[in-house]
Structure 1
């Protein structure tokens, strides 16, 4: 089954790739790898802000991470000239969670992105990963995730 078909089954339409907010590019292609800059938690309604362990629970944080994953795939699609079917596999995700000093469930939050990648891509969505805490993230968002992807 194609990636487009899997996304449709999940009820997901990839948005236009978000534009960078400062002096950097949204992705860099080196050989068959795409390095995608950090995608902050946002959906069609806007930014998803909050601090885990203070005013946001793990389930809501995981949903924010899922939105980051969708935006990562939108960037990969843009890097592939609009052809998401060129995506071969997710290599690595690095997730940053805006959380209090005593919050320790960052992996559960970033699971929102990891689980989505596997749902959308099957085994090609399985990846290496880091999930770390941050005292603050840009614009007060709850989650930011960057990724490395292999393409054809």
Structure 2
């Protein structure tokens, strides 16, 4: 189901008693996609945040050629620092996932527990409908049991 705002609907080409409505659907894309060890989080922004960020982007564009020496050095140092931080952060995330630091501490035990539970359920499903034969016991009346007297050597 797609909800369309009334201001997005435009009337076009009215023909004798019929009105043809057209609408444009804006599909929101996530502002940021955060990847975690247990899933993905998509962060969406509101329309007001988009407007504020657009104005910031317009103000943030700087032409380094027009700067004097002091601000130019500060701008270059800041851009080099942010690039280095981004690179180190990416390498750190890769190494953390490679060495398994991002997995939960006792994750292997949780997996073993789940495996055992699935095996137990599988065995119960296999055994469903089958019954073990009762231990066969033969009932012999006591008067039919013949015993021979044991000889005792003294």
Same fold by TM-score, threshold 0.5 exceeded?
no
Could you say which structure has the larger radius of gyration?
A: 2
Greater relative contact order (Cα < 8 A, sep 6+):
1
Range class of TM-score, shorter chain: under 0.3
**TM-score w.r.t. structure 2 length?**
0.19
**Bigger helix share:** 2
